[in-house]
Amino acid sequence: MRYADKDRRRAETLRQKIGRRSIVMVGLMGCGKSAIGRRLATRLDLPFVDADDEIEQAAGKTISDIFLEHGEAYFREGERKVISRLLEGEAKVLATGGGAFMNEQTREKIAETGISVWLKADLPVLMRRVARRTHRPLLAKGDPEETMRKLMEERHPVYEQADITIKSCDIPHEVVVDDIVKRLLKTIS
Ligand code: S3P
C-alpha cells in the first residue's frame, strides 16, 4: 500500500471511531493548537474551528480588547459559553485558547462530547513561538518568560487530564499530525 493510501485508510478508520465527537486541542499559548489542529482537520476531512476566533466574532472585538475593556473573568465566561456551543455541533477539530481547559465545566463538557489532545511543549519552544506574535494579553506585561513558567506550573497538572498527550517540538507539523492520528487510533474505543 502506498504511504498516502495508508494515511487515508487510517484517517477514515479514525473518523468512524470518532463518530459525532470532536477532537479538542489543548495546551499553552504557542504549543501549536491552531496550526496543528488545522492540519489534523485537513487530514481527517473534518471542519476546523478556532475557539478564540469564534469568541472574537461573538464579541465583535479582539481578545486583547475584551481583556482591556471587560477584564479576564468576563473573557473566561464568554470562552466557556462559546466552547460549550461549539461542542454541541457536528464533529470537528476545535483549537481552544490556553486557559480554556482550566475551567472545570469546560473540561467536563469536553469529556462528554470530545476527545482532548494536549500538545506539550518545552519552555524554549513556547517562548520562541510566542515571541513572533504580540496579540496575547497575558504576555503583554511583565516578563513573558516568567509568566509562561508560572502558567506551566499551574496548568500542566490539569492539561495532564487530557485523553492523550503529544510532544510538540520543532518537528514538521505533518509528523505531529501522524503521531496524533496513531495515538488516537490506539486510544479511542
Ligand atoms: C490564553 C490563551 C490565548 C487566548 C487568551 C488567553 C491563555 O489563546 O485564549 O489570550 O489563558 O492561555 P492561545 O493559547 O491560542 O494563544
Cell of 10: 487510517
pLDDT at 2: 60
What is the DSSP secondary structure assignment for residue 161, as one 8-state letter? T
Predicted pLDDT of residue 7: 87
Name residues contacting ligand 1 (CB within 6 A). Answer: 29, 33, 52, 63, 97-99, 136-138
Cell digits of residue 90:
457536528
pLDDT recorded at residue 183: 97
Q: Cell digits for 35? A: 496550526
Q: Which parts of 45-113 are beta strand (E)? A: 48-50, 93-95
Question: Which one of 31, 38, 52 would you pick to mutate in the ligand 1 pocket, going by the greatest count of ligand atoms within 8 A of its CB?
Answer: 52
pTM of the model: 0.96
Taking CA atoms only, the protein residue closest to ligand 1 atom 3 is 97
Q: Whose CA is nearest to atom 1 of ligand 1?
A: 98
Count of positions (residues) in the chain: 189
pLDDT at 3: 63
Residue 37 CA to residue 25 CA, distance in Å, equals 7
Contact predicate 136/130, CB 8 Å: yes
Report pLDDT for 1: 54
Q: Cα–Cα distance between 100 and 94 in angstroms, integer? A: 12
The contacts of residue 85 (CB under 8 Å, 6+ apart) are: none
Please give the angle made by the CA atoms of 112, 118 and 119, to the nearest 5 degrees: 155
Residues of the chain with pLDDT under 50: none
Query: Would you state the pLDDT for residue 132?
Result: 74
Cell of 91: 464533529
Indicate the angle between helix axes 3-18 and 33-44, nearest 10 degrees: 100
pLDDT at site 134: 73
Q: What is the CA radius of gyration of the chain?
A: 16
pLDDT recorded at residue 133: 72
Q: Which of 116, 79, 119 is nearest to 100 (CA)?
A: 79
Domains with residue ranges and CATH for the chain? 6-187 (3.40.50.300)
